[in-house]
Amino acid sequence: MTTELKNEIYELRKNSKIAFISSVDEDGCPTIKAMLVLENENLNTLYFSTNLSAKRTQQFLKNPNAAVYLCETDQFKGLLLQGKIAVMTDSEHKSMLWREGFEIYYPDGIETEDYCVLKFIAEKGNYYHGLNNVSFSIQEVSQDGI
């Protein structure tokens, strides 16, 4: 994989504000939901905040398999990442994602029991742009610090 392609993948991930998150329901069917991308450490780790009681969170507690799709519609770019989601309820993760205004939904701040963080760890991906479709392992793309 070329450095140019790795940089395109990195830029799409870095600039995406909304991600489409898929989970598997109790019947084994895929489900999908748009969520705000609040933090990302690198290509393989993305964070989302939500309710512990949410249907999707409960699905991840039963089956951590997940996919995250990021796209740039005006340039027809898409990045599919497949991996696992861990439901984090510790103060460190909850503080990291806390934003002004969240108190409307979580009146007790990070101590709100129904507030949690979804930590997505990617294992592999697929990038689409300009009629090119490239599958890759996360190690392959992130070996240069991306």
Q: Tell me: the pLDDT tens digits for 110-144? A: 999 999 999 999 999 999 988 889 999 988 887 55
Q: Is the pLDDT of residue 146 over 90?
A: no
Instruction: Return the pLDDT at 104.
Output: 93
Share of the chain above pLDDT 90, in %: 69
Q: Tell me: the pLDDT tens digits for 27-83? A: 999 999 999 988 766 778 899 999 999 999 999 999 999 999 999 888 889 999 999
Instruction: Return the pLDDT at 144.
Output: 52
**Which residue segment(s) compose the domain that 121 sits in?**
3-142
Q: Which distant-in-sequence residues (6+ apart) come within 8 Å of 26 by Cβ?
A: 59, 62
Instruction: Determine if the pTM surpasses 0.85.
Output: yes
Q: Tell me: the pLDDT tens digits for 80-110? A: 999 999 999 999 999 999 999 999 999 999 9
Instruction: Return the pLDDT at 35.
Output: 95
Q: Which distant-in-sequence residues (6+ apart) come within 8 Å of 105 by Cβ?
A: 51, 115
**Domain CATH code at residue 130:** 2.30.110.10
Structural domain tally of the chain? 1
Of 2-11, 19-28, 121-130, least confident by mean pLDDT is 2-11
Instruction: Return the pLDDT at 38.
Output: 83
Instruction: Return the pLDDT at 70.
Output: 94
Strands 65-72 and 77-88: antiparallel
Backbone angles phi, psi at 21, to 5 degrees: -110, 130
